[in-house]
Copies of this chain bind each other. A is one copy, B any other.
């Protein structure tokens, strides 16, 4: 009779001291202020007793979190367009303090919906890139035509240009992400290009093709942008500038078409009735397309787990981003990259 509670206590302590995952959340800098971020943290804590959260931001805006998580007062907001020097000087900013917690080993992961450039600079400058990684890369999972299947694309905007060797490193990081986070066995990797033949592509792309062909057993060749979401690719590698264009072109078109669909249904009573019939199908579609559920973009290649939530973060996307951060820590992605690169 005595054994059971003892075993339970032991496990409990084991979880607390060895596996309690600690995540710092920058609650400032998002388009909608700290309120939705706070709500996202509250929701996450309800479902995840094994995670300890450090909320960083304006103390007076974090009252709802008192007693539920550690609070760090850092009232300054890094401006959207801050350069690297500016961020590194803003030592009282929520962003700088958040990333510093990771640097000092006080947390395992950081999450922010603030300035992308600022978060990128502070993360790479404070946490440093993993040995063997020249450049960190933003990676994000995209929906595909194949239900439930996601393709990861990187870099979607950490760099303005990349070398062939950097693209090779992105491939390795993407494959590790696909394997360990999305559970894809033996992921298939493609290089984003303007045609499928090896001779297609930008000068750097052509060089990267040769390098990947020679070194990466997952590499299957070039892929055109129109097929990146077709479902057969697991990892799509591209330089940061092109990846950003791809991401935003897809996003823009998806938004434009959603708007047109909504208009088609809004016209009159009959079209509204029409909507009732296809509501379920439309919901499935918007779930497939919902970038919020993917937890934003992850910065791979730095010593730590860094998750960037969309600037327009709400409660749900914050929840999802913390969930992804937790998973990245559990799967020890940074160390896997260290070994794999």
Residue ranges of A at the interface with B (Cβ–Cβ < 8 Å):
81, 144-145, 157, 160-161, 192, 194, 197, 200-203, 205, 224-230, 240-242, 244-261, 263-265, 267, 270-271, 273-278, 280-282, 284-285, 288-289
Contacts and interface: CB of A to CB of B under 8 A. Distances in A.
A281 B267 contact: yes
Nearest to A204: B161
Contacts of A230: 252
Given A257-B254, A270-B277, A201 B245 contact: no
B285 A281 contact: no
Contact of A252 (B228, B255, B273): B228
A168 B181 CA distance: 44
A229 B157 CA distance: 20
14 contacts: A145-B259, A192-B245, A194-B248, A202-B241, A225-B249, A226-B249, A228-B252, A249-B249, A254-B257, A257-B258, A260-B285, A261-B261, A274-B274, A274-B278
Contacts of A270: 277
Contact of A261 (B240, B249, B252, B285): B285
Contact of A271 (B226, B228, B229, B277): B277
A256 B145 contact: yes
Contact of A256 (B229, B246, B252, B260): B229
A255 B261 CA distance: 14
A226 B255 contact: yes
A241 B194 contact: yes
Contacts of A160: 194, 200-203
A203 B282 contact: no
B250 A250 contact: yes
A333 to B, nearest CB: 25
A297 to B, nearest CB: 13
A227 B282 CA distance: 24
A246 B257 CA distance: 16
Contacts of A194: 157, 160, 240-241, 244-245, 248
A257 B255 contact: no
Nearest to A231: B256
A27 to B, nearest CB: 24
